[in-house]
A = this chain, B = another copy of it.
Amino acid sequence: MPPTTATAAANNLHLGIVGLGLIGGSLALAAKRAGWQVSAYNRTAASSTAAVNDGYIDCCVNRIGDLGNCDVIFLGVPVSTYDEILAELQPVLSPRSIVTDGGSTKQDGIAAAKRQLGDLACRFVAAHPIAGKEASGWTAASADLFVNHLTILCPNGADEDAIATVTMLWQQAGAQIHTMSAELHDTNLAMISHLPHLLAYALVSMIDKQEENAKLLQFAAGGFRDFTRIASSHPEMWRDICLANADNLLPMIECYQQELAEFADYIKNQDSQALSTRFAAARSLRQQWLNTLKDNETI
């Protein structure tokens, strides 16, 4: 249902979306609902054309450079493509332009902005909305995707007014803002997002090598389904994340291997006490975390 503007704040701001996928598309819908004018470029013109025809956004463009007059330009594309895209944008930006993103790693995106935007690198505000779904693409987009979810902002030297505008945009989308350095973001996310994805892929990959994996999987149930859900994530996106965040991820893999080796030792030595203590502590921590979510009504 196209958003009505009945309750939207008076807003003369123009948002340009590069990449009308799940994240870019959802931000487009949320911004439109909040009163922004929204234009989009999508590699597959069909999505952006449909979005306009169905009344969800105002305009679609055929070239990234045609978004140059937008107040804020959002990159909803893989971080590995930022150099190419920012190079195309740079000539059409003005000193007041703001460029922001939603990538899962921040240091590499900021580095691309420094390489391509020159003096305008201070107009780039790195951001990461901690939200998503298994589904992807424009058809999965939702104006509510970010409501009550966290968006991390990594100011890393960006201009104050640019940070303020991007903050407002995400707050209008319903997100709670948390600010941290790009370095801390990449470290933290390595542990609670990137590593788990890798661990899930590794288990399914191990099963994939078994001769009768289909037979084996007949006995897998809800626990397996939940544990491996993130192994259904987009392979290229997660390849890029692992490679970009290698410096954080590699030591964490090693740390995890040590953790696993400790558990293996407990099992080898039939150390009942140690196992139940560690399992109980893990369950307890997870429960505390769930209680926090409930209190904050997040996820």
A-side residues, CB < 8 A to B, are 130-132, 149-150, 152, 178, 188-189, 191-193, 195-208, 210, 213-214, 216-233, 235-236, 238-239, 242-243, 246, 249-250, 253-257, 259-261, 263-264, 267-268, 270, 272, 275-276, 278-283, 285-290, 292, 299
Kindly state the separation between the CA atoms of A143 and B233 in the bound complex, as whole angstroms: 35
11 A-B pairs in the complex with CB atoms less than 8 angstroms apart: A188-B216, A201-B282, A202-B263, A203-B256, A204-B282, A205-B282, A226-B229, A226-B230, A235-B283, A236-B279, A249-B267
Query: Of B178, B191, B257, which one neighbours A257 at CB under 8 angstroms?
Result: B257
Closest residue of chain B to A221 (Cβ to Cβ) is B130
Contact (Cβ within 8 A) A227 B225: no
Kindly state the separation between the CA atoms of A233 and B276 in the bound complex, as whole angstroms: 11
Closest residue of chain B to A277 (Cβ to Cβ) is B235
Contacts A231-B282, A232-B287 given; 14 further ones with Cβ under 8 A?
A188-B216, A188-B219, A197-B223, A203-B259, A204-B286, A208-B285, A217-B285, A223-B229, A225-B299, A233-B279, A238-B279, A239-B279, A246-B267, A253-B264
Kindly state the separation between the CA atoms of A232 and B214 in the bound complex, as whole angstroms: 27
Q: What distance in Å separates the Cβ of A263 from its nearest Cβ neighbour in chain B? A: 6
Q: What distance in Å separates the Cβ of A81 from its nearest Cβ neighbour in chain B? A: 14
Kindly state the separation between the CA atoms of A226 and B230 in the bound complex, as whole angstroms: 8
Kindly state the separation between the CA atoms of A289 and B131 in the bound complex, as whole angstroms: 26
Contact (Cβ within 8 A) B288 A214: yes
Contact (Cβ within 8 A) B261 A205: no
Closest 3 interchain pairs by CB? A235-B279, A204-B282, A235-B280
Closest residue of chain B to A254 (Cβ to Cβ) is B264
Kindly state the separation between the CA atoms of A290 and B290 in the bound complex, as whole angstroms: 27
Kindly state the separation between the CA atoms of A288 and B220 in the bound complex, as whole angstroms: 13
Contact (Cβ within 8 A) B222 A193: no
Contact A219/B205 with A227-B199, A275-B239, A286-B228 known, Cβ cut-off 8 Å: no
Query: Of B201, B206, B263, B290, which one neighbours A255 at CB under 8 angstroms?
Result: B206
Closest residue of chain B to A131 (Cβ to Cβ) is B221
